[in-house]
Structure 1
Amino acid sequence: MPGIAEERLIVAETIEDARDALRQGRAVLAGGSWVMRAPVRGQALPERLVSVGRIAALGRVEVEENGYVIGAAVTHIALTEALRGMPQLTGLVTAAATSANPAVRRVATVGGNLCCVDFAASDFAPALLACGALVYLETAQGPVTLPMTEFLARRAEVLPRALLTGVRVPRSVRASAHQRLPMRKAGDYPVAIVSMAICGGELHIAVGSVEPVARRWTALEQALDRRALDPERAGGLAETLNDFNGRDGIEADGWYRREVLPALVRRCTAALLSGESR
């Protein structure tokens, strides 16, 4: 890999190999394109890395009795193909199929997207938050499972000592939708993202790219009646209940990220209702 000397990078063939590398103080190479641009952001490249792309178990999507398990090394394109035909997971399919650009989607992985702590424009973070996903981690001490909300809040602390092996989306997801506003000048990264899902009879709404870390929009969830969802009403409430502190970036100011949320809520609500009626 350009920019990383061979002795700085080892390739794990098994999860146990990766655990050993973590014990040696190596960092997992996750989100390679983001990591390799670290010098552009004024950050140093990690000194010692372990690649986990060859671990077969991390490259699978499995349908199990209590959920859908997505390996950390599954690419965006592979996930799109694996979940196609599952209308209840339309939100995740849309997140995978529209993130970045085709060249990136061929190589970028679910785990890499989630493990880039400073990457605020992740599509998978809000999509998985809305679906109530669980995150599976392997540490030197053994396996750990975290709710997506807790993982996002603690990942800067957890990831230096852990390998993200996959995520589980519960079977309780009945319908989901994902809407984003990309800007070409931002390299197709989204200015704002809204994801919605009906999970076990509850409406979940998550927002990404507006603040540094994706989060649930609990005020809007509580104000909306899932049984009488209406795009226009949802958009109006989004204007009233907009409690986000938009981040400023080279591609958009924080005020603009907040400003576009009601329109995205309208679009996402309409898409969710369309999926639920199938």
Structure 2
Amino acid sequence: MLLRLPESVSEAQECIAEGAVPVGGATLVWAGWQNDGFPERAMSLRNLPEANVIAPGALGSAVVLNRIDERVPEVLHRAAATVGTGAVRRTATVGGNLVGSTLRCLLPAALVLDARATVLDRERVYETDLAEVLAKHHLLLSLHWREPVTSSYRKLPAEAGGPPPFVVAAAVHTDDDGLSRLYVAVRDGYDVLAGSAPCGTGTEEAIDGLRDTAIGTLYSAGWDVVRQHVTDLLARPDGGVR
């Protein structure tokens, strides 16, 4: 297998044109390659500057999870810190987790940040939403978002080897009219549900609003976790309730 390490967008596009298979940290694909055979060409973005940014409002796809720190919102930082083991987090990348994994541990956090994706194909670099990235398995360059007022993340305990643990992520944003809005996303098994509701007048308003979204379809125990998580977040001094 020939592994290409492009250092510019144009070099990465050449790799795509040559049929190189994108890899992140290869934590998920390596075992499959050992069983099924290695591709003739592969490509890693670890030397591409655009894929390695860590800054307020931006995170590159080639960033390994253990490098994600307080420069990004709490919800994303904590989501990355709970993925796998320390050894996994030293190798696994943002792009691999979001696009190459069925667990997609970072997806709830990215959804509540209302993140947009910058992606690359052989002809152009462009911005799109996360739904398109996941549906079409685009080559992700980076995530971008508007900074939230506050955010939080919780992963419930789970038995090793069992179903994926229940995850709830939440963030409060201020819209263009100066009003506060709550975004919530959960991972329930392999399903991810998301919704949003106004929260400027109180916690109950936000919770009632979430009832009318996909979050409201959760079973009772899952809904109770969401309700408590939202209550705790909005009770913070910076929680967005006015």
Structure 1-normalised TM-score? 0.71
1:111 lines up with 2:87 in the alignment:
no
Pairing 1:51-130 to 2, within 5 Å after superposition: 51-63=44-56, 68-83=57-72, 89-116=73-100, 119-130=101-112
2:223 is matched with 262
How much does 1:151 deviate?
A: 2.5
SS at match of 2:165: strand
Larger helix share, 1 or 2: 1
Cα distance in 2 between the residues matched to 1:181 and 1:130:
18
Residues 103 and 26 of structure 1: is their aligned pair in 2 closer, same or farther, counting only changes over 3 Å?
same
Residues 58 and 194 of structure 1: is their aligned pair in 2 closer, same or farther, counting only changes over 3 Å?
same
1:131 lines up with 2:124 in the alignment:
no
Cα distance in 1 between the residues matched to 2:157 and 2:20:
35
RMSD after superposition: 3.2
Pairing 1:143-158 to 2, within 5 Å after superposition: 143-152=125-134, 154-156=135-137
Residues 166 and 275 of structure 1: is their aligned pair in 2 closer, same or farther, counting only changes over 3 Å?
farther
Residues 190 and 260 of structure 1: is their aligned pair in 2 closer, same or farther, counting only changes over 3 Å?
farther
Contact 1:73/1:109 (<8 A) preserved = yes
Structure 2-normalised TM-score? 0.80
2:170 is matched with 196
2:186 is matched with 207
SS at match of 1:185: coil
SS at match of 1:191: coil
Cα distance in 2 between the residues matched to 1:182 and 1:34:
22
How much does 1:123 deviate?
A: 2.0
Q: Gapped runs of 5+ residues in structure 1?
A: 1-6, 84-88, 245-257
Cα distance in 2 between the residues matched to 1:12 and 1:45:
20
Q: Gapped runs of 5+ residues in structure 2?
A: none
What do residues 39-76 of structure 1 show as CA deviations (whole Å, max 9, x unaligned)? 69x8665443112212233222133xxxx111111222
Contact 1:72/1:166 (<8 A) preserved = yes
Cα distance in 2 between the residues matched to 1:269 and 1:122:
22
Residues 10 and 215 of structure 1: is their aligned pair in 2 closer, same or farther, counting only changes over 3 Å?
same
1:276 lines up with 2:238 in the alignment:
yes
Letter in 1 for 2:88: V
1:255 is matched with none
1:178 is matched with 153
Residues 265 and 49 of structure 1: is their aligned pair in 2 closer, same or farther, counting only changes over 3 Å?
same
Contact 2:113/2:145 (<8 A) preserved = yes
Contact 1:181/1:192 (<8 A) preserved = yes
How much does 1:226 deviate?
A: 5.0
1:3 is matched with none
Cα distance in 2 between the residues matched to 1:260 and 1:110:
30
Cα distance in 1 between the residues matched to 2:155 and 2:200:
22
